[in-house]
Amino acid sequence: MNDMLTTTPDFSIEAAAALLREHYGLTGTLSPLASERDQNFKVETPEGIFILKFVNAAEPEVESDFQTALLAHVGAHAGDLPIPHIRPTLAGASLARATSLAGVSHRVRLVSWVHGQPLAETQRSDAALVSLGRMLGRFDAALKGFMHPGALRDLDWDIRKAGRSADRLHHVTASEDRALLERFLARFSAIEPRLATLRAAVIHNDANDWNVLVDAADPDRVSGLIDFGDALHAPLIAEVAIAAAYAGLDHTDPIGAAAAIARGFHAEYPLLEEEVDLLYDLIAIRLVTSVTISASRRAHTDDNPYLAISERPAWTLLRKLDRMNPRFATAILRKACGFEAAPGARAVIDWLAANRKTLAPLLERPAATYPAALVPYGDPAHPMTVRSAAEQPDAAQAIWEEYCHKNGVTLGIGPWGEERTVYAGEMFVSRFIEGTRRTHHLGLDLFMAAGTKVFTPLAATVVSVEIEKDPLGYGCLIALRHEPEGCPPFISLWGHLAHEAMGRLKAGDRLDAGALVGEMGAPSENGGWAPHLHLQLSTDTDLSATEILGVGEPRYLDVWAELLPDARTFGGIAREFYEREGRSHEEIVKMRRELLLPNLSISYDKPIKFVRGEGVWLIDDGGRAYLDCFNNVCHIGHAHPAVVEAMAKQAGTLNTNTRYLHDNIVAYAERLTATLPKELTVAGFVNSGSEANSLALRMMRAHTGRENAITLDWSYHGTTQELIDISPYKFRRKGGKGPKPHVHVAPVPDSYRAPADWPPEEHGRRFAESVAELIAAMQAKGEDPGFFIAESIPSVAGQVFLPEGYLKEVYRLVREAGGVCIADEVQVGFGRVGSHWWAFETQGVVPDIVTMGKPIGDGHPMAAVVTTREVTDSFDNGMEYFNTFGGNPVSCAIGLAVLDVIESQDLRGNALAMGNYLMDAFRDMQTRHEVIGDVRGLGLFLGIELVTDRKSKAPATEFARAVSNGARRRGVLMGTEGPHDNVLKMRPPMIFSKRDADHLIAVLEETFADVARTLG
């Protein structure tokens, strides 16, 4: 017999009952309880239930004192905690003494009974484990600051002493079992020095599931914590690790169980990241301690089943832990405590979201510009999925190609987080959760033809280039490391590539943003899949390419979302691709028909539903981004943050009207008039281009007392009847009633279509002669012109640039006849031409009245008229001018923001530079495409006139429409204009960059070639 057994108390029930009476004055029913070292009796008395403990005589007194002090401390600081509370003896002592028949003196303690059922005998639900974590957290929190000499004992169960397991390894017989333990011991050696730096305190140190009680009526609630025999001063995190080690025994998801305990503990007693980071290794090492102690005890005693009680499940759990990737396990544990799954993960995700506009396109063009569709791997019954699962990539690819062909799709997207049945192989069995599979895709798949080139959106260092040969593996696999300024480093993984990259890239190579990474591989090279790129991110830069799981367990999707986040932003896929909102196109068209004026027109046969604008891009309800080269209202880009902010700020402060004083209106009038020639000093604010022109006409009438109008053919000036009357574009076409007697139409001074015998330098004068003739005709009838109105670059007429000297001559003629000259800058103003603020300036004239609209508010409905003091004085004839919305503080704040952006970012300079760049490209195209008759433009106001024959200049209307539609199909918006609808019209936002220009040029080139092929 060893010492331990001779000192083990061995009192009879009768003796125990007598002692109970003697020391505590209690009588009741006693029943023995199992104990490893001591002797315990359950005591049921009328006063309650207790445990009578006879302490093993071998236990040093300091330890009994320690336990007594510990219980007393917790009792004092957390009296409501369901732990045993000491009942003093009749003499008022915490301990009594009793001598056994063998003559050994034992210490005796009576504590209250803690109700509940051992956790070990229950289902150990997640809720129960969270509850256990909370209980331990509260218990340890109650022990903060508690110390006792007995807490400093030397115990093999002290996690800091777990290295001693190495000395017990020889008791483990199987060599593979020893190797398993050695692996964990090696990991422990690596972290051991860190233990000394962690927070340490007195902890329970043995929250195994026999020492934890749950409420019999509510097994999700832990109702008690017992057995403080192993309490010890140790690293705090050991408390969680030990409880987790036991909770994980025979648990289908041991890391999930540990996570639940950690979550509960953290809620009561916040853990530190550096503590949670050690949890996986500490759980494992506790099990190593347990199995080696069991092995050693077995060697010393007969096969005591109590000693070996947790041995088998402990081995099973160790083998499970060994198969797991500790970094993934740690990510789960970190996330359970509310930490990032990997340090810096959220910063990477946030950085990508904030900087997405600066990323280079991953495909030849921004991925969002390709017509895209979801690849049906999420639908187990879809024939493509069925073929793929049956490892028939060619058949799967054929189905996909047919679908793409039918639907005009060029990019297939396999989203992050998608549940797929194709993951059928052994390798997809979960290593975390028994009996489950990894089913959810953690990459972003981009399906295009084999050979499609893919480029890195960010500068990178190549981490690895390898070939995964396994069937259904990655084929050529590349890992890149990115470390953009202001962002923690992260990894991008590029799978299923062609093998060509192997010879071209090697670890350590530096790639600039936009550099080629590889090409999508054919099934023969890519692991046997339909050609696609598997793109994945890892915020844990220590994971190797092959460690990064491409498929994960749904239970931990929130963990994977941080550790291996969705690459959609990195890849340039718009969020609208995933989140369709609102009504269908058909429904909106139907409702428009029922509810709105029927003569609203809709662009394109297949209308587009835009849901978001951003800079030069418009994004449709399917997430496709279109390069907006047409809409000249959002002058400085869609949803410009400066405009949005100015609008929101002022709208949130005050919006009134001109009857009250406000700074904005005078500040804006001052800024606006400063952009104009010195004669134009007085501003009037309205809400639309039409209103601006109507106000201009009122001013004209007040100033001249006349009605006669001279307007250019095919012009448009607005939507009110008096403006329709001076808009041949309207009154000459469907529904129009021809010119009214006071309206005199001059021909469009279109140099391209001027009579061939006119010398080019005379075009201005010769076209002006037609105006002289109109005035002469009026005067012959005893009338005079009231005004001349023209767009400074006639746009509806087909982006016509007035010949040099034209306006000078016309203005001279009109003014000589007593008329006023109105420049309609509604389309062309605000620096669009780049060289000047206002397009009339390119003609060297100063109008009497300038009207402005569209670009003035970057989409906000506002407009303006600016005129001379002279005209203003005539207008000020006693009749009040009031406009409810015109010049309100919000509109003026927006107007100021637009001017600020144009000026501070030199957008006029940009318009000129980009315009010249595009004009050069268009002229170059003209040398190759006979159909391009004329190329016209200044700044970002551009036109390409198409003709079937350059000599006859017969309009190529069908070609122009086909180009406009073809560009739309390729994700670029432009329009057609002119009397024959044969002029391609482009007016991109002023922020148009060279990258945007190149995109436009490439699409135009492709479209022209395509249309030329199809139309012949």
Ligand X SMILES: Cc1ncc(COP(=O)(O)O)c(C=O)c1O
Contacts with ligand X by CB under 6 A lie at: 688-690, 693, 716-719, 791, 824, 826-827, 853
Give backbone dihedrals phi and psi of 639, rounded to 5 degrees, phi first: 50, 45
Question: Strand, coil or helix: what is 266?
Answer: helix
* 572 or 939: CB nearest ligand X: 939
CA distances from 29 to 42, 43, 107, 136 (A): 8, 6, 21, 32
Question: Cα–Cα distance between 176 and 500 in angstroms, integer?
Answer: 41
* 359 or 839: CB nearest ligand X: 839
Q: How far is the CB of 842 from ligand X (least distance, A)?
A: 16
* 410 or 842: CB nearest ligand X: 842
Q: How far is the CB of 732 from ligand X (least distance, A)?
A: 16
* 546 or 719: CB nearest ligand X: 719
* 234 or 800: CB nearest ligand X: 800
Looking up tokens 């060029």 gives 410
* 211 or 964: CB nearest ligand X: 964
Q: How far is the CB of 851 from ligand X (least distance, A)?
A: 7
- Looking at residue 291, its amino acid is V
Question: Cα–Cα distance between 744 and 772 in angstroms, integer?
Answer: 11
Q: What share of the chain is helix, strand, coil (3-state, %, to 5)?
A: 40, 20, 40
Question: Cα–Cα distance between 129 and 124 in angstroms, integer?
Answer: 7
Q: How far is the CB of 832 from ligand X (least distance, A)?
A: 12
* 717 or 832: CB nearest ligand X: 717
Looking up tokens 């002797």 gives 39
Q: How far is the CB of 715 from ligand X (least distance, A)?
A: 7
- Looking at residue 549, its amino acid is L
* 693 or 708: CB nearest ligand X: 693
Contact indicator for 937, 911 with CB cutoff of 8 Å: no
Q: Which of 794, 814, 815, 811 is nearest to 749 (CA)?
A: 794
Going by C-beta distance under 8 Å and a sequence separation of 6 or more, which residues neighbour residue 764? 749, 802, 803, 804, 805, 806, 808, 809
* 385 or 827: CB nearest ligand X: 827
Give backbone dihedrals phi and psi of 546, rounded to 5 degrees, phi first: -80, -15
Contacts by 357-361 with C-beta closer than 8 Å and gap 24+? Answer: 357/614, 357/615, 359/457, 359/458, 359/513, 359/569, 359/570, 359/572, 360/455, 360/456, 360/457, 360/458, 360/513, 360/514, 361/455, 361/457, 361/514, 361/572
* 283 or 695: CB nearest ligand X: 695
* 826 or 991: CB nearest ligand X: 826
* 148 or 854: CB nearest ligand X: 854
Q: How far is the CB of 553 from ligand X (least distance, A)?
A: 56
Contact indicator for 544, 500 with CB cutoff of 8 Å: no
CA distances from 166 to 184, 288, 291, 809 (A): 10, 9, 11, 103
* 263 or 854: CB nearest ligand X: 854
Q: Which of 663, 753, 672 is nearest to 713 (CA)?
A: 753
Q: How far is the CB of 507 from ligand X (least distance, A)?
A: 58
* 416 or 941: CB nearest ligand X: 941
Q: How far is the CB of 395 from ligand X (least distance, A)?
A: 53
Q: Which residue has its beta carbon closest to ligand X?
A: 689
Cα first-last separation, the chain: 106
Question: Cα–Cα distance between 687 and 668 in angstroms, integer?
Answer: 15
Q: How far is the CB of 691 from ligand X (least distance, A)?
A: 7
Q: How far is the CB of 687 from ligand X (least distance, A)?
A: 8
Q: Which of 219, 210, 216 is nearest to 242 (CA)?
A: 210
Q: Residue 181 forms beta bridges with which residues?
A: none
* 437 or 730: CB nearest ligand X: 730
Question: Cα–Cα distance between 963 and 1010 in angstroms, integer?
Answer: 9
Rounded to a whole number of angstroms, the CA Rg of the chain reads 42
DSSP 4-63: HHHTS----HHHHHHHHHHHH----EEEEE--SSSEEEEEEETTEEEEEEE--TTS-HHH
* 255 or 789: CB nearest ligand X: 789
Greatest extent of the chain over all pairs of C-alpha atoms, in Å = 144
Q: How far is the CB of 968 from ligand X (least distance, A)?
A: 20
Q: Which of 422, 553, 544, 554 is nearest to 493 (CA)?
A: 544
* 689 or 978: CB nearest ligand X: 689
- Looking at residue 458, its amino acid is L
Strands 820-824 and 849-852: parallel
Contact indicator for 684, 948 with CB cutoff of 8 Å: no
Give backbone dihedrals phi and psi of 626, rounded to 5 degrees, phi first: -110, 135
* 406 or 734: CB nearest ligand X: 734
DSSP code at position 762: G
How far is CA 9 from its chain centroid? 66
Question: Strand, coil or helix: what is 436?
Answer: coil
Q: How far is the CB of 766 from ligand X (least distance, A)?
A: 24
- Looking at residue 177, its amino acid is D
Q: Which of 155, 162, 134, 124 is nearest to 60 (CA)?
A: 155
